[in-house]
Amino acid sequence: MAAARWVVVVAVAVTAAVALDNGVARTPPMGWLHWERFLCGTDCAAEPDRCVSERLFAEMADVMVAEGWKEAGYEFVCIDDCWMAPTRDEQGRLRADPRRFPSGIRALADYGLKLGIYSDVGNRTCAGFPGSYGHYELDAQTFASWGVDLLKFDGCNVGSLGLLAEGYRNMSLALNKTGRPIVYSCEWPFYLRPVQQPNYTEIKQYCNQWRNFYDVYDSWNSIKSIVEWTALHQDSIVKIAGPGGWNDPDMATLRGIFLFLSQLVIGNFGLSWEQAVTQMAMWAIMAAPLFMSNDLRHMKPEAKWLLQNREVIAINQDPLGKQGYRITKDKNFELWERPLSNRAYAVAVLNQQEIGGPQNFTFSLTFLGNGLACNPACCIQQVLPSSVDWGVHNWLSSLSVEVNPTGTVLLKVVPL
């Protein structure tokens, strides 16, 4: 037994990568990010409720405090692209667009929530605003002086892969030099991958979270392709995730519910209830940063219930910090698991069938945790789509789980 334990410790030591040593993001960061829902709206005269302006972020922050979002763990309110004035100031510093942010960014940082901001490694952001190239130290100092707590650093408009890598590294060092703990959210592997296999061990030394794949859209196709990409690349990306450094599948977008940064699109327009449940369950299994991109001022109760569900959030935020993986794919069904603290497991059964009604998937509990999740017996709690106690099961039993088309049943399995 002692020998077996020793082997496990060695295996963990070999695969664990060193995380960026800035003390933050020990669990996946949670918050709200404007991009998926509000994009680059700059016409505040025509669209005062929707333009990228201090009003939008202040209103979102107010709702986050008043309606339990902050209490549930969503602590960052994050500005994405399009916040800047078209030029830097006389000292070469970035500045917010004075018409849309008349009080300045610092006023938003003082608002009571943690504040996230956006810039780009290249000359221009993806939407064409001034980028940080040639100004990494100055921009890091500016953000720190405003009281910023998170930087999403995009990778558009940079001359070469060498400059991309150098820029991501240098901004990380510049942020550290400010002395202010700032979550550093990168898109480095996403921009690198078409040309070169990312070195995740290195990326984790510089970034707290990193996007691997395309932007999330408010559609089932988008959610499905992010989940499938993650499963196909799990051998290289799962082992790298852990406290201080996370794979970022982008925002969450739910309808009134919709939710992947990892933005959640729950609460928007494109996902059915089942699909929103799938996004929330899978983002928990993937240990994904939970950034909603929706309009919190107008949320349907079921979207709020799902996004604020304490049991799912506890799985997402589990302190062991291990990312889950797909165990098997059997016709339309996918079986995923995530090791949790105290030898527990989160288990997701996803039904990819898009025709017909609910279908059953039956599997042996010996599939879970290499046979150890329910050994010799376990308690099973259904977390999504609703909270149900499934009672005690023994190692040799099978579970039959009914799942709606494009839905997911999320379970927590606790060994006895």
Active site residues: 154, 215
Task: At 162, list the tokens.
Answer: 């060498």
Is residue 80 part of the contact set for ligand GLA (CB under 6 A)? yes
Residue (246 or 363) nearer to ligand GLA, CB? 246
Map the footprint of ligand GLA across residues 296-335, applying CB under 6 A: none
Indicate the DSSP class of residue 369. Answer: G
CA gyration radius for the chain? 21
Whether the CB-CB separation of 283 and 290 falls below 8 Å is answered with: yes
Site string for ligand GLA, 146-185 (x = CB under 6 A): --------x-------------------------------
Give DSSP secondary structure letters for 33-89: ESHHHHTT---TTT-TTTSSSHHHHHHHHHHHHHTTHHHHT--EEE--SS-B-SS--
What is the SS3 assignment for 222? helix
Is residue 215 part of the contact set for ligand GLA (CB under 6 A)? yes
Q: Residue holding tokens 């970035």? A: 94
Is residue 81 part of the contact set for ligand GLA (CB under 6 A)? yes
Q: Residue holding tokens 């917010």? A: 96
Among 56, 115, 117, 126, contact with ligand GLA (rule: CB under 6 A): 126
Q: Which stretch binds ligand GLA (CB under 6 A): 125-133, 197-205, 268-276, 302-310?
A: 125-133
Is residue 97 part of the contact set for ligand GLA (CB under 6 A)? no
Whether the CB-CB separation of 111 and 63 falls below 8 Å is answered with: no
Task: At 393, list the tokens.
Answer: 């099961």
Is residue 284 part of the contact set for ligand GLA (CB under 6 A)? no
| Residues that contact ligand GLA, how many (by CB under 6 A) | 9
Residue (108 or 216) nearer to ligand GLA, CB? 216
Q: How far is the CB of 125 from ligand GLA (least distance, A)?
A: 6
Q: How far is the CB of 39 from ligand GLA (least distance, A)?
A: 8
Residue (32 or 35) nearer to ligand GLA, CB? 35
Q: How buried is 163 (Cβ within 10 angstroms: 0-12 exposed, 13-18 middle, 19+ buried)?
A: middle
Q: How far is the CB of 127 from ligand GLA (least distance, A)?
A: 4
Is residue 218 part of the contact set for ligand GLA (CB under 6 A)? no
Task: At 88, list the tokens.
Answer: 């830097």
Residue (216 or 410) nearer to ligand GLA, CB? 216
Integer distance in angstroms from the first to the last C-alpha of the chain? 20
Give the up-direction half-sphere exposure of residue 26: CA atoms within 13 A in the CB hemisphere: 4
Among 28, 31, 35, 117, contact with ligand GLA (rule: CB under 6 A): 35
Q: Which of 319, 311, 322, 315 is nearest to 283 (CA)?
A: 315
Residue (67 or 215) nearer to ligand GLA, CB? 215
Is residue 229 part of the contact set for ligand GLA (CB under 6 A)? no
Whether the CB-CB separation of 227 and 272 falls below 8 Å is answered with: no
Q: How far is the CB of 89 from ligand GLA (least distance, A)?
A: 22
Is residue 295 part of the contact set for ligand GLA (CB under 6 A)? no
Binding site for ligand GLA (CB under 6 A): 35, 80-81, 125-127, 154, 187, 215
